[in-house]
Structure 1
Amino acid sequence: MPGFDPREPETYWGLFRREARLTAKRRGTPIAVGDPVRSTDGLRLDWRIDSAGRETRYTLLRWEDIVRDRFPRPNGRRIVETIALWWRLWRTGYLRAYKREARRFYRVIVGIHLIYAGLVTFSLLVASALMLGAGDMIPKPLVILAIPVVAYAILSGLMVVTRGKPFFVAHLVDDTAFTHAYAKGEAPEMEARLDAFAAEIRAAEGRAGEIVLIGHSSSSFFGFEALDRVLAADPDFGRRGTPVSFVTIGSVIAWITLDENAVATRAALARVAASDAIGWLDIRTKWDWLSIYRRDPLSASGLPSPKHHRPVEFHVRMPDLVEADRLSRRRFNLFQMHFQLLMSSDSPDTFDYISFVAGPEPVHALIESWRSVKAQPMGQEMEVDGW
């Protein structure tokens, strides 16, 4: 399950195929990635992976259409809703808790919103200078009325010309709004999509050697929401011989669960965390500016962990994945760092997403073998056989 991303699902297939070629070359293991096939109901993009005699069916659960309906928003709506949202988050104490649990991610989100506020202010100043500079050519009442209209046009032009780069301002501002709208129950289209995802996941039981649900970014919380729906419909899911694992990468779970309105989401998180039928692995790196990595998602959300190493944590050092020269160029590219854990690693001796997904070792077995390994302090990678 991908994050808040409006791109066509084939983008992820193209990324996976490209990175699979790199992993195959670096590790000396043939990996064949089949062509993508869209399901007739529009919920999935499926492709097959063949590696070392093992076949993996990779399914991308789609919600890019929902993202497109929420991003980009018209600037007028964005301004009004953003002011209302930040007033609520400040008034309820959310910002203090969020800063405590996700200091770096907090700085990114606050910084992005300040950049957007700066663009709005700049547009107003330029519009005021233009209109007031017209002198007596335009009546003063019309000048006053024209300033916000001209400012809106300037702001819209800036957003179109820059497309939000280099910091993807509109993307992250709208992503923030969508996350908190969902926390308040104001995203019914996503509720319906998660119900559909739950049916897809449940139907996979018994058709493969294992089921692995991978939630990246915003789908770190949409993933457990879908699994909670599966368990509500079928309490024995995962207990009939098909191992089920949940893997979170670039987790932002506390981003939503710290919102006082996210009562249902926190309850779903607690139920999935308590289910011993579903393994849970949280893969993280402190180099990912768009994730929350300081504490495990349960502790960060103010929930007790039901058992030791739930979830199992795997800390990855980015310098082990990317060579120093390329890392120095990428380190402040927010989305590059956010996607790095979904890509091939430069070193054949460390974590590699492609090998993780398509390698010979089942994911549920990896989670079990890592459960007894105590995570090293932040900044060090787990010392696990094979990685």
Structure 2
Amino acid sequence: MFRRESRLTAARRGLDIAVGDAVRSADGLSLDWTVEAGGTRTRYALLRWDDIVRARFPRPDWRRLAAVPALLWRLRRSGYERRLRREARSFAMVIFGVHHLYLLFAATSLGLAAGLPLLLPADWRPWSWLAVPVAAYAVLAAIMALTRGKPFYCAHLVDDTAFTHDHAAGRDRQIPDRLDAMAARIRAAEGSAGEIVVIGHSSSSFLGVEVLDRVLSADPGFGTRGTPVSFVTLGSVIPWIALDASATRFRAALARFAAADAIRWLDVRAPWDWLSIHLRDPLTASDVPSPGPDRPATRYVRLEDLIEARLIPGRRWNLFRMHFQLLMSSRDGRGFDYVAFVSGPEPVHAAIDRWRQAPTRPLTRRA
């Protein structure tokens, strides 16, 4: 996607952008490539956790059948559901809606399976009822296979939610080790680059906070020795994990990072993105005290700047496409363009300072 969007950005902005081949790092931690644009050379390292996703998504339906009602009950009883709906109506509608859709699929499967014995001869019914659970499970598996992709993405969103709350409670064992390794690499880059930029899109917005908190815990002076360090969140979902009562360690990490003003923070928001949380700043929305109005600095992006107006009606309800639109090329050369932002001649920290001095206003109050 980065290579494809780079070609679009180059054509739209009259730039010469060359994207090198992606190479898996020796330790398997990342996928790395270089970008040459306007005399600026950028080394891009993408943290890999696709193997963790493949191992967890999709889960067997028997695990979902037990876990989904228990999770929904816990989140409602703790007040989490109410708080998330307050901060992000659209996001909460998608997340909780897909869980209720899953429960509806389960009930429908059971109903359909329970009707099968009624179609059989009366002499068979006593024994045929024993097959109802098996038939219901088979029907549910078929429904989940049919709704795995767009527009529902039912299995993915349900499993992603389970991962997020497992991570919040510290039950995930793989991601922390990977974040430790990435933190060590980021720390080692200080002094050898013109600037360091950590970018977190979607769930990586909260993983980015955790990575930088690890760096600062090991080296409190990180970012103060001449190499500018910036953190950029796009399509952020930080409150998704932070509002969970079990996420005590993450909230502590978020509070520590919020106070580390040597590291600039930019939050790029898209009010048209239903899969992000953008009504308020991530700190206030997470019930974490904010050091000031420019922590983080804010940049709002118009959908009309990214894609042609004629394409919006057909894409607006493709929620995953809209969620990734912030990582794509901008139709308007004056608008926010991800490729130009991370690889263009203007340093990211300079762009953040410029936006801090002239903050943009929300495009809409829709949650």
Sort the TM-score into its range (normalised by shorter chain).
over 0.9
Which position in structure 2 is the counterpart of 1:91?
77
Aligned length: 365
SS at match of 1:186: coil
Q: Distance in 1 between matches of 2:359 and 2:185?
A: 34
After TM superposition, list the pairs within 5 Å mapping 1:57-96 onto structure 2. Answer: 57-96=43-82
Residue 337 of structure 1 pairs with residue 322 of structure 2? yes
Partner of 1:260: 245
Kept after mapping to 2: 8 A contact 1:317/1:379? no
Q: Tell me, yes or no, if the aligned pair for 1:270 and 1:303 is still in contact at 8 Å.
A: yes
| Aligned residue in 2 for 1:126 | 112
Aligned residue among 276, 289, 296 for 2:261: 276
Between the aligned partners of 2:78 and 2:150, the Cα distance in structure 1 is 31
Aligned mates of 2:87, 2:34 — CA distance in 1 = 38
Q: In the TM superposition, what are the counterparts of 1:219-258 in structure 2 within 5 Å?
A: 219-258=204-243
C-alpha contact 2:203 2:236 (8 A) present in aligned 1: yes
TM-score by length of 2: 0.97
Q: Cα–Cα, structure 1 residues 147 and 351, in superposed 2: closer, same or farther, change >3 Å? A: same
Question: Could you tell me which amino acid in structure 2 is paired with residue 64 of structure 1?
Answer: D
Say yes or no: does 1:368 pair with 2:356: no
Letter in 1 for 2:344: G
TM-score by length of 1: 0.92
Matches within 5 A, 1:284-295: 284-295=269-280
Equivalent pair of 1:19/1:343 in contact (CA under 8 Å): yes
Unaligned runs of 5+ in 2: none
Secondary structure of the 1:283 match is strand
Kindly provide the amino acid, as one letter, of the partner of residue 26 in structure 2. T
Is the aligned partner of 1:112 residue 2:72? no
For 2:79 and 2:285, the matched residues in 1 are separated by 15
Q: Is the 8 A contact 2:117 2:125 kept in 1?
A: no
| 5+ long unaligned stretches in structure 1 | 1-14, 381-387
Point out the more displaced range, 297-306 or 121-130: 121-130
Distance 2:225 2:150 in 1: 48
Deviations 1:257-287 (A, max 9, x none): 0111111101100111100221000001111
Q: Deviations over 1:45-100 (max 9, x none)?
A: 00010011110011101111111221100001011111110010011111110100
CA RMSD after TM alignment: 1.3
Give the secondary structure class of the aligned counterpart of 1:138.
Answer: helix
**Distance in 2 (alpha carbons) for counterparts of 1:376 and 1:307:** 16
Aligned match for 2:157, one of 162, 169, 172: 172
Query: Helix, strand or coil: the match of 2:116?
Result: helix
Percent identity of equivalent pairs: 60
CA contact (8 A) 2:118 2:125 kept: no
Question: What is the CA–CA distance in structure 2 between the aligned matches of 1:244 and 1:137, rounded to whole Å?
Answer: 75
Aligned to 2:185: 200
- Please say if residues 31 and 51 of structure 1, whose CA atoms lie closer than 8 Å, have aligned partners that are also in contact: yes
Post-superposition offset of 1:117: 1.6
Read off the aligned partner of 2:206 and give its amino acid letter.
Answer: F
- 1:167-214 deviation per Cα after TM superposition (whole angstroms, max 9, x unaligned): 201000011111111111110211111111211211221221001000
Q: Tell me if the contact between 2:18 and 2:37 (Cα under 8 Å) persists in the aligned partners.
A: yes
Pair 1:47 & 2:33 matched: yes
Contact 2:297 2:359 in 1 (8 A): no
Q: Which amino acid aligns with 2:238?
A: I
The alignment partner of 1:261 has SS state of coil
Give the Å deviation of 1:379: 3.2
Residue 154 in structure 1 maps to residue 109 in structure 2: no
After superposition, the C-alpha distances for 1:333-353 in whole angstroms (9 at most, x for unaligned) are 010000000000111121111
Give the Cα separation in 1 of the matches to 2:150 and 2:42: 36
